[in-house]
C-alpha cells in the first residue's frame, strides 16, 4: 500500500529530499545506488551527504566471488559466481547486479505509470 501511494506521489514531491525518500520507498536499493554514485564522485562519503547506507566510500565495493542459491530444491543448490558486491553495513553485502535490476525496474515502472516516455 505504501508503495502505491509513493508511486502516485513520487514525481510531485516538492523537494529533492522528499523525492529521494519516495524513491527509496518504491525501491530500497535506490538508497544504495545513491551512495554508490556519490562514492564514485567523491571517493568517500561524509555525514553531510546523509547516506542511506553505512558505506564509507568506494572501498566498500569490489568484484567478489559470491555464494548464491539459484534453486534451493536442487542438489547442488549453492553455487558461486563472480559479481560486484558492496558492503553497506558490517557483514551486510549487496549484490550490485540485483540492485541495479531492481532500480532499473523501478524506473521502467515510473516512466510507464506517469507517461514520461
Partner 1 sequence: MPLILDKAAFQNSLASLPLVTYLPGETVIVDGSTTDRLLILKKGNVAIVKEDTEIAKVAEPGAVFGELSVLLNQPHTADVRALETSQFHIANATALFEQNPMAVLHVATVLAHRLDGANRALIQLKHQLSTGAPHSVIAKTVSKMEALFAVGSAKAKVVNSSEYKFQVVDQDYADYKQDPTSLRLAYHLAVSLFHLRDWTFAEHSGAGNCAVCDHHQ
Binding residues for partner 1 (CB under 8 A)? 11-17, 19-20, 23, 30, 33-34, 36-38, 40-41, 49-50, 61-63, 82-84, 96-97, 100, 103-104, 107, 110-111, 114-117
Residue nearer to partner 1 on the CB measure, 73 or 108:
108
Cα(47)–Cα(52) distance, integer angstroms: 10
Residue nearer to partner 1 on the CB measure, 73 or 117:
117
Residue nearer to partner 1 on the CB measure, 36 or 87:
36
Cα(80)–Cα(30) distance, integer angstroms: 25
Amino acid at each position: 500500500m505504501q508503495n502505491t501511494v509513493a508511486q502516485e506521489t513520487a514525481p510531485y514531491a516538492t523537494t529533492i529530499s522528499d523525492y529521494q525518500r519516495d524513491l527509496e520507498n518504491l525501491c530500497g536499493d535506490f538508497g544504495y545506488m545513491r551512495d554508490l554514485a556519490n562514492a564514485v564522485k567523491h571517493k568517500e562519503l561524509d555525514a553531510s551527504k546523509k547516506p542511506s547506507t553505512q558505506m564509507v566510500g568506494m572501498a566498500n565495493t569490489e568484484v567478489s566471488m559470491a555464494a548464491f542459491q539459484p534453486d534451493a530444491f536442487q542438489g547442488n543448490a549453492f553455487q558461486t559466481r563472480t559479481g560486484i558486491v558492496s558492503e553497506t553495513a558490517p557483514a551486510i553485502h549487496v549484490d550490485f547486479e540485483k540492485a541495479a535490476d531492481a532500480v532499473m525496474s523501478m524506473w521502467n515502472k515510473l516512466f510507464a505509470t506517469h507517461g514520461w516516455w
